Amino acid sequence: MSLTSAVKEIRATREGTWILTAQCPSRLGTVDVVTRFLREQGCYITEQQSFDDSASERFFIRTEFRPLDVDQGGEFDAAAFEAAFTHRASGFDMTFELTPPERLVPVVIMVSKADHCLNDLLYRYRTGQLPITIKAVISNHPDLASLAEWHGLDYHHLPITADTKPEQEQAVWSIIEGCGAELVILARYMQVLSSDMCERLSGKAINIHHSLLPGFKGARPYHQAFEKGVKLVGATAHYINDDLDEGPIITQGVEAVSHADTAEDLVARGRDIECLTLARAVALHVQRRVFLNGNRTVVFQR
């Protein structure tokens, strides 16, 4: 999904489009149960994507729709819609989520010293390119406080050592829980989260990694890539889990480089790709286009 598509997607949603996402075991009639119900409810489908995974034997569907009564000056009763669809979906062991138009997903951003991903997200937030509301910025360093404060955001400096890690993570969790954040964005937060924190944030935290996983782990990844003479640099956005940098992948970005590029050139290009890839992953997540499927993802692109 391009950034232009992401902006169009957001604008379309704000113009009255609801999103219904659902998944269930593979079974005959799974598409019909959604489309027939929407027709009966007087809802016009504007976009629909579905996927049946033969490996996991699970079915996934994402539908955007516009209630026609609203177009005629009526009101859409979301509670009644959900109650009725719950009854219909129960016969398919289907779980679902209904997302209203204009909903801004509350997020917390975590960062260390590198500012490029944070700066990019703040710009997209300020210009309305991402349907999110940033509740707080958390860092283990004080360096980026002025950047967050310029945007009118709370900045929490929570230093961490090996001895204070449990206390620091509890403070982080208190902020996340206290502000009602539904998504945590690790915008180059250079700390390994504990198993307990990973479990708490399962499916709710997106990390950006500075390569096409798996590869070039550890310090100075672009310099490692330079020494190996790589011809591609990239970035991976993924959900976190307890296996370091091995969580379910949402999206990846890549760009060709050549023998003429220096290590510093690779760093600069890599930063740009990280920003773009992370923003794309956030957009996909908040627009309910990503489904967890074991350690893999189903991603419905625009």
Query: What are the start and end residues of each CATH 3.30.70.260 domain in the chain?
Result: 17-99
- Quote the DSSP letter at residue 230: -
**Residue 213: its pLDDT value, please?**
54
- Looking at residue 72, its pLDDT comes to 67
Domain with CATH 3.40.50.170 in the chain: 105-299
Q: Give residue 214's pLDDT.
A: 58
Residue 58 one-letter amino acid? R
The CATH T-level fold of domain 17-99 is: Alpha-Beta Plaits (3.30.70)
What is the predicted pLDDT for the residue at 7? 44
pLDDT at 285: 98
Lowest-confidence segment of 2-6, 56-60, 285-289 by average pLDDT = 2-6
Write down the pTM of the prediction.
Answer: 0.89
Tens digits of per-residue pLDDT, 246-284? 889 999 999 998 899 898 998 899 999 999 999 999 999
Report the alpha-carbon distance of residue 267 to residue 225 in Å, rounded: 10
For 53-81, how does the pLDDT look when each residue is reduced to its tens digit (9 = 90+)? 998 999 999 999 999 876 666 789 999 99
Residue pair 6/280 in contact by the 8 Å Cβ criterion: yes
**Which tokens belong to 212?**
């096409």
pLDDT-wise least confident of 27-36, 215-224, 272-281:
215-224
Long-range contacts of the stretch 55-60 (C-beta < 8 A, 24+): 56/293, 56/294, 57/25, 57/26, 58/23, 58/24, 58/25, 58/26, 58/293, 59/23, 59/24, 59/25, 59/26, 59/27, 59/30, 60/22, 60/23, 60/291, 60/293, 60/298, 60/300
Which has more confidence, 257 or 147?
147
Q: Are 190 and 112 in contact (CB under 8 A)?
A: yes
Catalytic residues: 245
pLDDT confidence of residue 68:
87
**φ and ψ at 5, to 5 degrees?**
-65, -40
Domain 105-299 CATH superfamily: Formyl transferase, N-terminal domain (3.40.50.170)
Mean pLDDT throughout 139-149?
Answer: 97
Q: What angle do CA 106, 64, 92 make, to 5 degrees?
A: 95
Question: Cα–Cα distance between 9 and 272 in angstroms, integer?
Answer: 23
